[in-house]
Structure 1
Amino acid sequence: MDTLTATAAAPGLSAAAEVAAPDWRALPPEAPLAMPVQSLRRRPERREAARPSAPGGMFWRRLLVIGGAVLLTVLGGREMWRVLDLDRPTLLEYGVFGLFVLLFAWIALSFTSAVCGFFVVLSGGSNRLGIAADAPLPTLSSRTALLMPVYNEAPERVMAELQAIHESLASLGVGQHFDIFILSDTTDADAWVAEEAAFLALRERTGDHQRIFYRRRPKNTERKSGNIAEWVGRFGAAYPQMLVLDADSVMEGETLVRIVAAMERHPDVGLIQTLPIIVNGASLFARMQQFAGRVYGPLIAEGIAWWHGAEGNYWGHNAVIRTRAFAEQAGLPTLRGPKPFGGHILSHDFVEAALMRRGGWAVHMVPALRGSYEESPPSLTDLALRDRRWCQGNLQHAAVLTARGLHPVSRLHLLTGIGSYITAPLWLLFLFVGVLISLQARFIRPSYFPSGYTLFPDWPTVDPVRAMWVFIGTMGLLLTPKLLAFLALLLRPAERRGCGGAIRAFLSLLLETVVAGLLAPVTMLTQSVDVLSILLGRDSGWQAQRRDDGSLGWREVVRLYWPHTLFGLAFGIAAYLVSPFLALWMLPVVLGLALAIPLAALTARAGIGLGLRRLGLLLIPEERTPPVALQRANLLFRQLRDAPPVPSEAVWRLAGDPALLQAHRRMLPPPRRPRRDPVDAVLLVGLTKVAEAESLEEALAGLSRAEKAAVLGDAGGVDGLLALAQRGG
C-alpha cells in the first residue's frame, strides 16, 4: 500500500461521494461557550484558592533563585563601583554603572535559574503532575479539541502534521477522544481554496469524516488570539480541553494522552505547557537553534519550571488548556490608545497565562515529557521578521503589568518578555557610554589637586585588573549554563550518543557558541532599531512565516545588512582612535557587526548545515532516532509536496473539481442579512469589478487580494467568477 494512504483508520468515502451526502458538514454542531472580555482595572471573582497541584516549598525555591540573583548583582555592582572609582563619579560613570547593574541582574537571574535546572536534571528530571513517560498509558474519559490555527501556510505541511498526529492517536486506540479543527485565518484566496482541497483529501486519506473539521474566518479579527476565541465561543462547551498547535507543530499521540490525562486528574489546573523540541533544521542557523534548544533547553526549562511551580507561563502552542478556565479568564481586552501600543494584544500567550492564574487556575510546565516538536526560522532574517512582531507584542505588556490581581510571578513573566527586547538597546547604550567614558579619560584633563588645602594629589583611577575580572565573571555567568548543560548531556548516555558522542557534542557546543556570539551584536542592533521603531509608533503588521528555505540572494542580504556592517566598522574605528586597548575589548562586537553580511548569508544556507550534519556536528537525538510521528509527518509532507501539480489559481481549481466546488459552496458563511449585518465595501467593489469584466483574466487582474477573497466568500461572487471561467473555456 502507498505510504501516503496507509493509515490506522478504515478507508473512507471518495471526496465526491462524501461532499454529496445530505448530512455532510465541515463543522460539528455548535456548542457556544461565553468568553467575556476581562478587565485589567478590577480583580475578577476568584475560584477556590486551593491548588493541590502546586509543589511545596515554593517560597524557598524562589528565595534561592531570585535571592541568589540579587546577591550576585550586589557583588557584581560592588566590583563595578570599585572599577569606576565612584567615590567621585561623573554623570557618564553613573550611567554606565546603572546600565551595568540592570544588565548584570538580567544575566544573574538566568544563571541562578539554570543552576537549579542542572540539579533537577541530575536528579533525573521533574515528575510534575504525576506525568511519567515510563508509566502505563492512562485512560481518558473526555474529549479534547486539537486546534491548528493557520494563516497563509502551505497546506501540505499542515495536513501532513495533522495526519501524523491522527495516525499516532489511532494507533493507541484513543482517536475517539480527540477532534481536529483546522482554524484558517488565511487571506490569500488561492491558499484558502488549496486548504479546502487539502482538508477534503485529509478526510479521505484517514477515512475520518467525523472528527476532522475546517473553518475559515472571513475577517481575521485580533489575529491568532481572536481565531482561538471565536472557536471557544462557537464550540468550546463541547470540549473540556483544547490543545493549541502551531503550523509547524507535531506531537506524539502518547504525549497528548499523558497531558490530557493529567488535566483530567487535576481539576485545579488550567494549562499544561510542554517543552517543544526544535527539529527539521537544514540551514546552519536553524541547526544551531535546534542544537541549542535540545542541549541547553531542557536544563533551562527544568530550572524555570522548578521555581515557577503552579505560576508557569504559556508559549502559545503545544499546550493543553482547560476550555472553561480559558473562556472564564482569558478574554483579552483591547488596550487603550493607538497602535503600536494600543489595540489588540499581539503577544497574547503570556497575558492569557497571567489572567488564568489571576483567576485561580494553576499553570504548569512539564519539561521532562518528550514528544512535542516545532521548527525554527531558517535564517537570521526570518528570525528578525518574527522578532519584530514579538517585540511589539512584548512591549505592549507594559500596559498589562499594572493589571489588578496578577500574581507576582506572572508580573515577572511579563517583565521578562519586555526585558528580552529592551535589553538590546540597553546593551548598545552601555557600549556607547563606555566609549564616551574612555573619551572623557583621554581628552578631559583631570584635576589632581582639588580646591582646598591638601598635601597629596587626588589621582583618578580605573582599576584595569579588577575590570578584567568583572568581565570574566560576567562571561562566566553567560557561559556556565552551556557548560552545565553539556555536563548533564555527558551523564545521559542515550542523549550523548544522539548528539554524536562527547567529542562531537563538545565541538558542536564550541561552534554554536562562537557563531552565536558573532551573530549576537547583529541581533542586538536589529532589535534596538525595532524598539526605536515601535516607540516612534510604527506597527509591525502580520506576515506569514517562512518555514523551509531561508536563503536570500547576496544583493538582498547586502541591502538588509549593510547598515550593520557600516555601523560596526565605524564603531571599531572610533574605539581604536580612542585607544587600541578599547578596540581590543570591543573586538567581538565589532567583528560580528562588520561580518553581518557574510554571516547572515552563510548561516541561511542549507548546504552548510547539512554538510555539518554529515560530519556529525550539531546533531540532536531526534535525528539519530526519529520519533514515529515526526518521521511520519516528514514523509507525508514530502509526498504531498511532490504530488502532481494542480492549478494554483483558485477559480480554475474550483471550476475543474466539482467536489471541491460543492464543498466550497457548503462552507461559505451565511449571506448578509439586510439592515442587520454591516455592508462589506470590499465585497461590493469586488462584485462590481466581476460584473463589469468581460473575461476571467480581466476580472482577476482587476481584483485586489482582499477583493478576490471577499468575492470567493460570497455565493453570488463565486457564480460570477465561474461564469467568466466557462465563457473563457
Structure 2
Amino acid sequence: MRRDPLEAAAMVPRLFVATGALALGVSAGWLFYLSLQPVPVSWVDWARTMLIGFSVFWLGWGALTALLGLLWRPAQDALGDLDSEPMPSFATAIVIPIYNENAGEVFARLRIMRDDLMAAGCVSGFDFHVLSDTRDADRVEVEKACYREVARDPGLPIYYRNRTSNEGRKAGNIKEFVTRSGGAYEAMIILDADSLMTARCMMRMVKAVARDPKLGLLQTLPVVIGAETVFARIIAFATGLYGRTFARGLALLQGRCGPFWGHNAIVRTRAFAQSCGLPVLPGEGPLAGHIMSHDTVEGALLARRGWTVRCDPDLEGSYEEVPAHLLGFAARDRRWCQGNLQHGRVLLARGLPFWSRMNIGLGIIAYSASALWFSFLVLSLISAGTTSVYERTMRVFLALGDFQLSLLLGLIIGLLFLPKLLVALAGLAGYQNGILGNLRVLLGYAVEAVSAIFLAPILMMFQSRGIMEILMGRDSGWTTAHRDHEALRLSECTRATFWMSVVAALGMAMTWYLSPLMFFWSLPVALPVLLAPVLVWITAKPVTARGAARLGLIANTNQVLGGELRRIADV
C-alpha cells in the first residue's frame, strides 16, 4: 500500500516531539525519585514520582511543539499562490450559530464581512446563515429585528432561522442546517458569534477547497481582537506573540489528521454530511448524551473517511474574541472540560487514524493535567504528614543542597519559560519597531510571564473542581458566552473564588505546621490561590490601548483588525 505523503512528512516531527517529551518525563520522574533518597520511599512518594513525570511529559510536549514551530518551517506556503486563481463557481455558506448572544454585535460583524466581500468583487457565491438556538422570546425578537434591518440592504443573501428545538446544541444546529440546506453548498465556513474574517481569507479558503478535492476541512488560526480588560489583553498578547509559532509546530505534526476547533474553518459540506454523524453517548450523567466538544470528534471522523483535515497557521485575516475576565474564561473552560472528558468514550472507536486518536487523547490530558498537579500537591501534604519528624527533617535537609532536585526545578522552569522567550526573541526582527518597540515586546513577555505565574494556580483550581464535579455527576449545562466587558465587582469575584481561598489557607496552615521550609516552597502556588478574589477583580478591570501599550501588551498589528477591516475597528 502506498504511504500517504502527508502522513510520511509528519513522521519525523511526531517522533521528535513524542520521544523528546517521553524522555523529559522519565528523566523528571527519575530525578525526583533520586531526590527522595536515602529515606524509604512510600506508596505516596511513588505516586508523586509518577505524577511529576507525567506533568513534565505534558510540559515537554508543549515546549517541543513550540520549538518545532520555531526551528522547522515547511518548504513553502501551500496556499501562497491562491490569490491569483479565479474564484470557483460553486456556492459557499457562511454559517454563524448563536445562542443567547448580543444580536446587535453579531449582525454588525455579519455586515462588516458582507461589505468586505462585496468590496472584493464577490457579488455572488456566498450566502450568510445565522442559525439561532436562542430560547428567550425577547432575545429572539431582537435577533429578528436586527436580521430584518441588515437584510434590507442590497448585497449577498442573508438567512436567519430560530430552531424550535435545540437538541444537540451547536452540533445539532449545524446538523440541521446541513440536512436541510447543505446540498446547495459545496463548502461552508463555520464561524462563532464573535468571529470575524476578511474577504481575502474567506476567498483563499474557498479556493483551497476547489484546488484540493481531498481537502475536507481547513482550520485557520484566529487572532484575538476586541480585548479591553487586563485579562483579555494578556490573552491577546500571548496568542499574538506565541500562538502562530505553536500552531506551525502543530501543523507539522498533523499529517492529514489536523485539528478542528469548531469555528473559523471551512468544511466541505459533502464530506461533513457523509462523515460527521455524532453518536449520542448512552447512559446517564455528564459523560453521557450529546458530545459537547464535538469539533475534535468531527475532525477525527472526517479523517476516518479519508478526507484531509489540516490547519494553516499562516492564513491571515481570521479573528475572534475571548472572555473579558477569568470567571467567564473558567465557565467556558468548564464546559470544554466536560466535553473533552466525554471523548474518552470515543477514543477507541473503530477506524480512527492513529493521530486522530492522539488529538483526542491530548485533549483529555490537557484537562486532566491540572487535576493531576493538584493531586501531587495534596499527596505532598500527605507525605509530609505521614512521615516521622526525623524523616521530614532529613528530607528537608537533604533537599537544600540536592543536585537532582535543583536540576529538576531548573528543567521545569526552563520548559515553562524558555520556549516563550525564544519565540519572543526570534519574533522581534519581524516587528520592525526599533529598539523602543522591541523593549516593549520584552516588557510584554515579562508581564505575561508574571501574570501566568499568578493566574495558572487559579485556573488549576477551577479545572480541578470541574473534574471533581464531573466525576460526581454534575453537568455544566449550556451556558451563554461571557463576552461583555463590564467590570466585575469585588463581591462577585469573592463569591466565585472564596472556596479556593479557604482551601489555600488550610493548605498553608498545614504546611507551616508540618514544615516551615516546605511552606515557603509552596507560596508560588498557594499565595495566588489565597488572593484569587483580588487577582480576578484586578484582571477584569478595563485598560485602554495606550495603557496596554505601556505594559508592552500590544506586540504587533495582528492584535487590531487587519488593514482590510480597520475602518470598523470600533465594533
Q: Structure 1-normalised TM-score?
A: 0.74
Give distance in 2, aligned partners of 1:126 and 1:164. Answer: 35
Q: CA deviation at 1:277?
A: 0.4
SS of the aligned residue for 1:296 comes to: helix
Question: What is the correspondence of 1:117-266 to structure 2 with a 5 Å cutoff?
Answer: 117-120=69-72, 123=73, 127-128=76-77, 130-132=78-80, 136=84, 138-205=86-153, 207-208=154-155, 211-266=157-212
Match of 2:483 among 547, 550, 565: 547
* Aligned partner of residue 586 in structure 1, secondary structure: helix
Q: 1:475 aligns with which of 413, 430, 435?
A: 413
Match of 1:645 in 2: none
State percent identity of aligned pairs. 36
Aligned counterpart for 2:429 among listed residues 463, 481, 491 = 491
**What do residues 184-215 of structure 1 show as CA deviations (whole Å, max 9, x unaligned)?**
1111111111111111111223x13x621111
| CA spacing shift, 1:500–1:216, aligned 2, 3 Å | farther
Distance, in Å, in 2 between the alignment partners of 1:161 and 1:211 is 15
Q: Which amino acid aligns with 1:468?
A: S
Q: Aligned residue for 2:335?
A: 389
Alpha-carbon offset, residue 436 of structure 1: 2.7
Q: Does 1:281 align with 2:281?
A: no
Number of residue pairs the alignment of both structures matches: 569
Listed as ranges, the matches of 1:416-455 within 5 Å are 416-443=362-389
- Runs of 5+ unmatched residues, structure 1: 1-47, 449-459, 638-729
Q: After superposition, what is the alpha-carbon deviation per residue over 1:589-636, rounded to whole angstroms, capped at 9, x for unaligned? A: 1111121111000100114x656225262014237864145434444x
Matches within 5 A, 1:452-463: none
Residues 334 and 117 from structure 1, CA distance in 2 versus in 1: closer, same or farther, beyond 3 angstroms?
same
Q: In 2 relative to 1, CA 629–203 (structure 1 residues): closer, same or farther, beyond 3 Å?
A: farther
- Residue 105 of structure 2 aligns with an amino acid whose one-letter code is R
Partners of 1:414 and 1:624 lie apart in 2 by: 30
In structure 2, distance between residues paired with 1:433 and 1:203: 60
Q: Deviations over 1:4-33 (max 9, x none)?
A: xxxxxxxxxxxxxxxxxxxxxxxxxxxxxx
User: Residue by residue, what CA displacement relative to the aligned partner does 1:149-184 show, whole Å, maximum 9, x if unpaired?
Assistant: 111111111111111111111111123111111111
- Aligned mates of 1:428, 1:444 — CA distance in 2: 26
SS at 2:188's partner residue? strand
Alignment-mate amino acid for residue 352 of structure 1: E
Q: Does 1:314 pair with 2:260? A: yes
1:298 is matched with which residue: 222, 227, 244?
244
Q: Does structure 2 conserve the Cα–Cα contact (< 8 Å) formed by 1:379 and 1:550?
A: no
CA distance in 2: counterparts of 1:252 and 1:268, whole angstroms:
25
State yes or no: 1:521 paired with 2:451.
Answer: no
Once the two structures are TM-superposed, the CA of residue 484 in structure 1 deviates from its matched residue by 1.7
In 2, Cα distance between equivalents of 1:624 and 1:334: 39
In structure 2, relative to structure 1, the CA distance for the partners of 1:412 and 1:187 (3 Å cut) is same
The answer on whether the counterparts of 1:298 and 1:367 sit within 8 Å (CA) in structure 2 is yes
Corresponding position: 1:465 with 2:413: no
CA distance in 2, matches of 1:290, 1:602: 17
Distance in structure 1 (CA, Å) of the matches to 2:346 and 2:503: 35
Return the alpha-carbon distance in structure 1 between the equivalents of residues 558 and 376 of structure 2. 41
Mapped partners of 1:278, 1:500: distance in 2? 24
CA offsets per residue over residues 254-275 of structure 1, 9 Å max, x none?
Answer: 0111111111111111100000
| 2:292 aligned residue (340, 346, 351) | 346
Give 2:109's aligned amino acid.
E
Indicate the residue corresponding to 2:537 in structure 1: 601
Q: How far 1:141 moved relative to its partner?
A: 2.7
- Cα distance change on mapping 1:50 and 1:169 into 2, 3 Å: farther
Relative to structure 1, the CA distance from residue 56 to residue 136 in structure 2 (aligned partners, 3 Å threshold; closer, same or farther) is farther
Q: What is the letter of the counterpart of residue 174 of structure 1?
A: C
1:79 aligns with 2:31: yes
Structure 1: how far apart are the matches of 2:252 and 2:538?
38
Q: Which stretch of the first structure deviates more once superposed, 517-526 or 621-630?
A: 621-630
CA distance in 2, matches of 1:71, 1:591: 32
Q: Give the 3 Å change call, closer, same or farther, for CA 292–527 of structure 1 in structure 2.
A: same
**How many Å separate the matches in 1 of 2:319 and 2:384?**
48
2:444 aligned with 1:508: yes
Q: Deviations over 1:298-347 (max 9, x none)?
A: 11111111111211010000000011111111010100111211100000
CA distance in 1 between partners of 2:209 and 2:113 (Å): 19
Kindly state the Cα deviation for residue 578 of structure 1 after the two structures are TM-superposed.
2.0
User: In the TM superposition, what is the alpha-carbon distance from 1:424 to its structure 2 partner?
Assistant: 1.3
* Contact 1:137/1:257, CA 8 A, preserved across alignment: no
Residue aligning to 1:380? 326
Q: Displacement, 1:582?
A: 1.0
Q: CA deviation at 1:233?
A: 0.2
1:467 counterpart letter in structure 2: L
**C-alpha separation in 1, matches of 2:555 and 2:109:** 20
The partner residue of 1:618 within 553, 558, 568 is 553
Alpha-carbon distance between aligned partners in 1 of 2:360 and 2:346, rounded to the nearest angstrom? 8
Q: What is the deviation of 1:127? A: 4.0
Q: Please state how far the C-alpha of 1:241 moved relative to its aligned partner.
A: 0.4
Distance in 1 between the 2:444 and 2:44 partners? Answer: 40
Answer whether contact 1:118 1:485 (CA < 8 A) is retained: yes
Question: Which whole-Å CA distance do the structure 1 matches of 2:271 and 2:356 have between them?
Answer: 17
CA distance in 2, matches of 1:531, 1:625: 35
Deviation string, structure 1 residues 660-686 (Cα, Å, up to 9, x no partner) = xxxxxxxxxxxxxxxxxxxxxxxxxxx
Contact residue 184 and residue 216 of structure 1 kept, 8 A: yes
Equivalents in 2 of 1:95, 1:197: separation in Å?
A: 59
Distance 1:597 1:211 in 2: 47
Structure 2 CA distance for partners of 1:137 and 1:591, relative to 1, 3 Å: farther
Could you tell me how far apart the structure 2 residues matched to 1:445 and 1:382 are?
Answer: 44
Q: Does 2:562 align with 1:627?
A: yes
The structure with more radius of gyration: 1
Q: Which whole-Å CA distance do the structure 2 matches of 1:482 and 1:138 have between them?
A: 40
For 2:505 and 2:273, how far apart are their aligned partners in 1?
Answer: 53
CA distance in 2, matches of 1:385, 1:146: 27
Structure whose residues are more often helix by fraction:
2
CA distance in 1, matches of 2:10, 2:455: 37
* CA pair 593-400 structure 1, distance change in 2 beyond 3 A: same
Q: Report Cα offsets for 1:477-536 as digits up to 9, x if no partner.
A: 111221122022113134x57x97111111111111111211111111111111111111
- Mark the CA change 1:552 to 1:364 in structure 2 (over 3 Å): closer, same or farther: same
Q: Which letter maps to 2:301?
A: L
Counterpart in the other structure of 1:727: none
Query: 1:524 is aligned with what amino acid?
Result: M
Q: Secondary structure at the match of 2:152?
A: helix
Would you say the 8 A contact 1:357–1:407 is kept in 2? yes
Counterpart residue number, 1:90: 42
Distance 2:148 2:129 in 1: 13
Q: For residues 189 and 484 of structure 1, what CA distance do their matches in structure 2 show?
A: 52
**Paired amino acid for 1:256:** M
Q: Distance in 1 between matches of 2:235 and 2:497?
A: 21
Q: Single out whichever of 579-588 and 620-629 deviates more from structure 2.
A: 620-629
Q: Which residue of 2 aligns with 1:530?
A: 466
> What is the CA deviation profile of residues 419-458 of structure 1, one whole-angstrom value per residue up to 9, with x for unaligned ones?
1211111111101212333334553669x9xxxxxxxxxx
